[in-house]
Structure 1
C-alpha cells in the first residue's frame, strides 16, 4: 500500500514496458527506439516493471502504471494486464496498476474489464485514441464507459499530438485527429459519474482541453509528456487558478523521468501553495488515497 506520508509525489502517468526483445515479430522495438530518440530518453532498452519500481522507490515517488493495448490498429502484441498486475502487486509500496483494453474488442473488452475490476480492484483504464484508432465519443466504446462509471473507475485518455510514430513513414499510420480533447466533452456529458483524465498538454488543442476541464466537474488534466519548461502560458495560468485542484503531475515514464519533470517544474511560475496539490494531493484525492 502507498504510504502518503512517506512519498513526495504521485506520478499519474507511467508506462509498463516489456523487456527489450519481446517484439521481434511485429515491429514494436522500432517504434520504441524512434520514440526514445524523439523524447531524448536516457536508456538503451525500455525498463521492466521491477526496474521501474526500483527507480521510483529511489526517488520516493509513487506511480500509476499501465500498458497500452492497441493490437487491432497496430498489430503490436499487447502486454498482458494480468502480468502487469502481478508484477505491480510485488511493488505495491510505489506502484498503482491501471489496465488497458482496446475498446474495439467490444463485449470481450467489457468482460475483461469487469473481471479486472471485480477480481483485482483495478481503479482505472488507459485509452490512446490515436494509437487505438477511435474517436473517444464513438458509441462503440460506450458499453465500456458504462462499466467504468458503474464502478467509479477512471478513464485516462491520451490527448493532443503524440510521440508515437513521430518521424516514422506516414507517422506509422497514427492519425492525430482522434486525440482532439473536445471529443471527450461528449463523454463527460454522457457519463457524468465517470472520472476522466485528459493526458498531456493537448497541443495543438490546449485551449479546448482547458475549456472541457473547467466546464465538466468530472474531467481532469495530467501534465505528462512535456517538460514543464515548455508549458504554454495559458496552461500555467489555469494551473495557478481555476484548475488548481484538477491538474496532476505525470511524467510519461520511461520517455521522461519523474526527477527531470519535477526539477523543471520547480523552475516555472507556479504558486508555492499550489505545488503540493499538483504533484501529490490532487492525484491522492482522485485515486481515493485520502
Structure 2
C-alpha cells in the first residue's frame, strides 16, 4: 500500500547539536547516522521513500528560537533542501506570530518562492495560544493575518495539539480546545488538528473533529498500536484522518516501521487506504 507521511521533522543536520543527536539516538531510538545521511542529502531520502512505497512526505519547518534554538533560518534551509524534489517533499512553512508583527511579507515569500504546501503553528514551542487572535484573548493581529493568509491561499493550517518532550516547551498551550473558534472565524480554512491532543486531551480532540467538518486529524505521534485505544470510534472520523509518523520522534525509529504498525490495526482496507494515502492526496492536491 502506498503512503503519504503528512508529518516529519527532517531538517538539515547543521541545526542539530551533538547533544540533540544523542537524544535522537537514546530517547527516540533513531539511528543518528541514518538521520545524518538523509539530512545531508535529500536524494538519500528519496531513495528510502522509493524503497518503502512512500509517495510523498511533509517536512515541518517553523521558527521557535525560545524553545528549539532556531528561527526563520530553519525554514529557509528546509526550503533549500526540498527545492529539487517539491513533488515528493512537501514543505510546511511558518511565521512565529509572537515575534513577527508583520507576517505578510514572509508569508508571501514562502508561498511564492518556496512553494509551501501548508502552514504550521506550534503553540507549545512558539509559546502562543491558537486563539490569541481573538479580542478577548490577546488580540494578536499577526496570528489573525496568518490564518487569513492560509484561508485565502487554500493552504492547510496545521496546529500542534498535545504535549512536547522538549524541556523549554510550554504544554499549557497544547489544549485542543483553543482551536474550537477557528472554524467559526475562518470557515474556509482547512485545519489539521495534529496529534489528536495526545496524551491527555484526546476526548477534546475527538469532540472538535466531530463538531467541525473542516478539521483534519493528523494521527502522527500517536503510537499506531494505541490509536484505537485513544480513539475507539476512529472510523467515524477516518474520512478526515491522515497518516503521519512524526519521525524522528519518541518511539518512532523509522517511518516504515510506523507504517507497518498502522497496517496491523483491525481496520478495513478501505479505511487504511484513505488514511494512508487518499485523504492526504486530496488535501495536498497530489495525483
Tell me the TM-score normalized by structure 2: 0.85
For structure 1, which segment, 177-186 or 90-99, has the greater mean C-alpha deviation from structure 2 after superposition? 90-99
Change beyond 3 A, Cα 1:108–1:29: farther
Match of 2:52 in 1: 59
C-alpha distance in structure 1 between counterparts of 2:88 and 2:115, whole Å: 16
Q: Report the counterpart of residue 237 of structure 1 in structure 2.
A: 233
Unaligned runs of 5+ in 2: 134-139
Report what 2:137 is aligned to: none
Which residue does 2:282 correspond to in 1? Answer: 285
Determine if the alignment matches structure 1 residue 226 to structure 2 residue 215. no
Per the alignment, residue 212 of structure 1 pairs with 208
For 1:43, the equivalent position in structure 2 comes to 32
Is the CA contact (8 Å cut-off) linking 1:73 and 1:131 kept in structure 2? yes
> Which residue of the partner structure matches residue 161 of structure 2?
159
Whether contact under 8 Å (2:21, 2:32) holds in the other structure is no
Q: What does 1:103-142 align with in structure 2 at a 5 Å threshold?
A: 103-139=97-133, 140=140, 141-142=143-144
Retained in 2: the 8 A contact 1:18–1:79?
A: no
| Contact 1:13–1:63 (CA under 8 A) maintained in structure 2 | yes
Q: Distance in 1 between matches of 2:24 and 2:108?
A: 32
| Aligned-partner Cα distance in 1 for 2:245–2:155 | 21
Tell me: CA distance 1:52–1:225, structure 2 relative to 1, closer, same or farther (3 Å): farther
Q: Secondary structure at the match of 2:213?
A: coil
> Does the residue aligned with 1:103 lie in a helix, a strand or coil?
coil
**CA RMSD after TM alignment:** 2.2
Moved more, 129-138 or 89-98: 89-98
Q: State the partner residue of 2:91.
A: 97
| Distance in 2 between residues matched to 1:288 and 1:71, nearest whole Å | 32
Alpha-carbon distance in 2 for matches of 1:16, 1:127? 17
Q: Residue 87 of structure 1: CA displacement?
A: 2.2
Distance 1:181 1:86 in 2: 32
